[in-house]
Amino acid sequence: MQELRHSPPEIWFRPHCLVELTNRQITRTVRLGMRDAEHVRGYAPKERARVRCRTEDGEDLYTCWVRIQRVAVTSMSEVRVADLRGSPKFEDDPDALQQVLARYYDRCIVPDDVVTIVEFTYEEDMRMPHRTLVDCIDAGILRIARQPYGQPQVVSGTAQDALRAMSTAGGTVPLIAHEYPAYTPLLWNAAYRGFGLPYVSVMVTGDPARIPEVLDAFRNDPWYLGGGAGVGFKQAVLSHLDTVDPLAAAMGAVNVIRRTLSGALEGYNTDGEGFAVSLEQALRVTGRSIRGATVVVLGAGGAGDAIAFALAARGAQLRICNRTVVRAEELARRITSFVRGTHPEYDDAAVIAASETALHELVADADAVVNTTSKGNGEMIAYSALGPVTLPPSPTGIAENHAYALQVLARCRPNTVIADIVLAHEETIMLQQARTLGLPVLDGIPMVVEQAIDAFRIVHERFVRARGVARPQIAEYMWIAARSHMIPAT
């Protein structure tokens, strides 16, 4: 006789998770074995479950009700850092998770072991479903951004009044986690005007933790045609989309979302190729190419992943530097595995992971150095990405950072391209210092434009095909707009 599943199911946590649970910081957990709805003690999406934080003696320290959002069965070897967002501290990278599971289950955990990733939402945090983009804005889940260039002017009245004043036919909505001077609305709205399309691009800010609600609203809202997943959302949206392009899945990040006529949401990534095109142009000035070039990439997450994948696919030798070396190593493994799918001869030595402290040595033979981290922006705007950062900012910390960064730049060859994808109102400190030393620099605008061209072609594929629109036509409209808002060199 088949054993019945317990209803409702329970998710147990150890006492060290108590603070994170009470602060609603834990939204995912990994369990050893097959724990989906078909198995005893399994979990099913949309099912109610009780969370319990218990001592070894069985005493409840904390309990609450949650709603299961997603259940994914996989092997330990396939677990990625992006799969562990929202997991308890010390379980948020694959290596640490493997050690924790070994202690919990008192046995060695091997790569072939089956594990189940369970994602949930606290019932106290759940809201009534928001059916449209307007509902999300009216409820305060999303806000129309103020800083992006080319952002449509917000009229007074409700969110519905504002969006209808912008366009009654529909629009694209890029998502970002915080305000910054983004170029996306400027570029897309220039293309809409150039092609005579009745659409609008309007950027919004929101909390990535609310992404399930936001994407459900996008599925239900025919006004939403697609858009972008920007800062804070590139990895957060990945597991909540209906389909994801294989390249974006391998990268672990999405920057383009397309809504189909049936309401399904598809994810793609054009960030990496956008940067690769712009770097190829910068290297060509001195007769070089990405193929065979040595590129140091600072950062192993979001846009950094996409850039590293694209450069590797074009034949670059990569040196990936990250504050957390394990993330750089994990990215290096994913890149090697993916590229070998089409190039079996790909060498392990083509992608090397290292700590940020190794920058002095790595830049010496680099053809390009690219910053993909958030250093040089927000509260770190006074710092260079090439030096250590101490927060809160202080005159001493900033001076030490600048001195260290100059030492790193001094070790570069005269033709090393120094690139920074951070977008700000002025050139970043990293680029300012490189320019004073006579090194060629590349800011984030060319990448933004090139990736936007390909993103436009994906979201508006039916229009592009019906009208026979070529890539250079889109590029012309977007580059004219971008040049009107170039970051000034300082």
User: Active-site residue numbers?
Assistant: 234
Q: Is the dihedral of CA 384, 387, 388, 394 positive or negative?
A: negative
| Backbone dihedral angles phi then psi of residue 10, each to the nearest 5 degrees | -125, 145
Q: Contact 71/36 with Cβ under 8 angstroms?
A: yes
Q: String of b and e for 126-143 (b: at least 16 CB within 10 Å)? A: eeeebebbbbbbeeebbe
CA dist 140 → 120, 202, 231 (Å): 22, 16, 19
Nearest to 97 by CA among 47, 28, 43: 28
Asked if residue 111 lies in contact with residue 76, where contact means CB atoms within 8 angstroms, the answer is: yes
Beta strands in 325-448 (DSSP E): 351-355, 368-371, 417-420, 441-442
| Buried-exposed string 70-101: b where 16+ CB fall within 10 A, e elsewhere | ebbbeebeebbbbbbbbbbeebebbebbbebb
Beta-strand (E) ranges in 359-440?
Answer: 368-371, 417-420
* Cα within 13 Å of Cα(81), Cβ side: 20
Q: Quick check: helix, strand or coil at residue 202? A: coil
Angle formed at CA 259 by CA 254 and CA 262, multiple of 5 degrees: 140
Beta strands in 17-59 (DSSP E): 28-32, 48-54
Distance, in Å, from the CA atom of 221 to the CA atom of 229, rounded to the nearest integer, reads 17
Q: How far apart are CA 484 and CA 474, in angstroms?
A: 16
Q: Say whether 210 sits in a helix, a strand or coil.
A: helix
d(CA 371, CA 334): 20
Residue whose token pair is 């605008």: 445
- Length of the chain measured in residues: 490
HSE, side-chain direction, 13 A CA sphere, residue 440: 16
